[in-house]
Structure 1
């Protein structure tokens, strides 16, 4: 099974400068390709990444000597065109939006390889093509990879690569089907009665976020103080995102390791975010990330994921008699109007989801 790993790099000031140069060249190549792509469309032509890549290498690249500077990996321009082509493919398939121009300091990243040769990794240091040896904060598995992606978050650089991993199915504590109801008050409620509370990391750190945002807005544009505040604000956003991802990783790992069959509903997240009263707390839950992690961890730990239809009335159906009634969001206890059964709203929905798989 092909899985990826991402870890933080321990770089010197010289190495950070080299990384910034690589990211700048990748950004320049991507933006040039996007601008040329748009111009060709206006002229009635139909471009693709291969035509742009060939023209760039033969006519544009020789004019910019700084791209061929010593220590710069020349593979980053090829991957920039590949990323541009993938972005347009997602756009034409109605999976993503129209590609935008990249800005300096926003999602800086680049991809390199060793001209088709496998790159050996392992331990707390790795030798990157043309860049040289770099150190990591944690040990890497001893393996090989085809390409490596290096990205920057706030003022920290991270390395990511995919490699083949072998996994055997884990011994399940629960062979029965488990239903998982995702919510705002409780992040996940299982049909077995286990409840995972919602830590609400964004709301917890909101006051500090407001303070840092005010400080950033008050600084003079272009000043060093503004740049310093920008990094502090980016670090805070990264901290909240890491806390959220850690919580979701813990829950999804527990589910996939200990349950043979998991049923989760297909939520209309974009529709839920249109409710401005709940948009902030819904976005803080990370429902899409929760589902994404379940899908790949199911293959990793050997369990089955069943996605229930978003139209399945899990919250409106009585888990005791099957009677369906309206359930406003403010009502947290399900009181059946037919049999009089009383149960927690989220637990009732989780039980109905587990029975859906059996049906």
Structure 2
């Protein structure tokens, strides 16, 4: 039952943070209860151990195989979440060795947009990838299908699931493209100033 108690304790900490944001952060609304089936997540801490390769041992769940290779570090806690039918795990750990400071160089601004993936202050423009444009077309098509389905029907539930997967695919495509862009930019001999990074 320890695992369940830890999860409840984290839920109370999340609630406390939500109320603090409501009273201190302008524009934050009153905290709402999470609806079952929407943004489902689970918090765990305790005897968590990363095994060799892409396996992690979780309390009361057992050994779970992950898609990516995990670092061999002691884990403090994990949060398991569900997005568009797929499960994700994020974990917190202490980085043993601090990263060396990089030497500051010339500054360049990066503006992330919608029509273009990113535009730099030196005039360089990076267009959206082809897969992103194709996924946007599918998104429009699935949105129309959801609107035509009867609320509460199984067909609407199927259409909503496809729509959610398309939203996730678009977010993943943009995140991957931005990751490649920022990785490339980090090796350029400039110091970059990012703007409008929220997707």
TM-score (norm 1): 0.47
Aligned to 1:73: 4
Whether 1:85 aligns to 2:8 is no
Root-mean-square deviation (Å):
3.0
Q: Where does structure 2 lack aligned partners over 5 or more consecutive residues?
A: none
Per-residue CA shift, 1:206-253, capped at 9, x if unaligned?
331122123233334444333222221110000001111112222223
Question: 1:149 deviation in Å?
Answer: 0.2
Aligned to 2:198: 289
Distance in 1, matches of 2:105 and 2:65, equals 45
SS state at 2:88 partner? strand
Aligned mate of 1:112, from 44, 65, 84: 44
Question: 1:154 deviation in Å?
Answer: 0.8
Aligned to 2:64: 134
| Cα distance change of structure 1 residues 202 and 99 upon mapping to structure 2, 3 Å threshold | farther
Distance in 2, matches of 1:109 and 1:74, equals 15
Aligned to 1:27: none
Question: Which structure is higher in helix share?
Answer: 1
Whether 1:121 aligns to 2:30 is no
Aligned to 1:322: none
Structure 1 segment 143-158 matched on structure 2, within 5 A: 143-158=73-88
Question: 1:196 deviation in Å?
Answer: 2.5
Distance in 1, matches of 2:121 and 2:79, equals 37
Structure 1 segment 319-338 matched on structure 2, within 5 A: none
| Cα distance change of structure 1 residues 85 and 170 upon mapping to structure 2, 3 Å threshold | closer
Question: 1:94 deviation in Å?
Answer: 1.2
Per-residue CA shift, 1:54-74, capped at 9, x if unaligned?
xxxxxxxxxxxxxx6xx9633
Structure 1 segment 207-218 matched on structure 2, within 5 A: 207-218=137-148
Structure (1 or 2) with the larger CA radius of gyration? 1
Distance in 2, matches of 1:194 and 1:219, equals 44
Tell which deviates more after alignment, 242-251 or 179-188: 179-188
Work out whether residues 136 and 170 of structure 2, in 8 Å CA contact, stay in contact via their aligned partners in 1: no
Aligned to 1:179: 108
SS state at 1:73 partner? helix
Work out whether residues 3 and 59 of structure 2, in 8 Å CA contact, stay in contact via their aligned partners in 1: no
Work out whether residues 76 and 112 of structure 1, in 8 Å CA contact, stay in contact via their aligned partners in 2: yes
Whether 1:160 aligns to 2:90 is yes
SS state at 2:180 partner? helix
Work out whether residues 6 and 45 of structure 2, in 8 Å CA contact, stay in contact via their aligned partners in 1: yes
Aligned to 2:185: 255
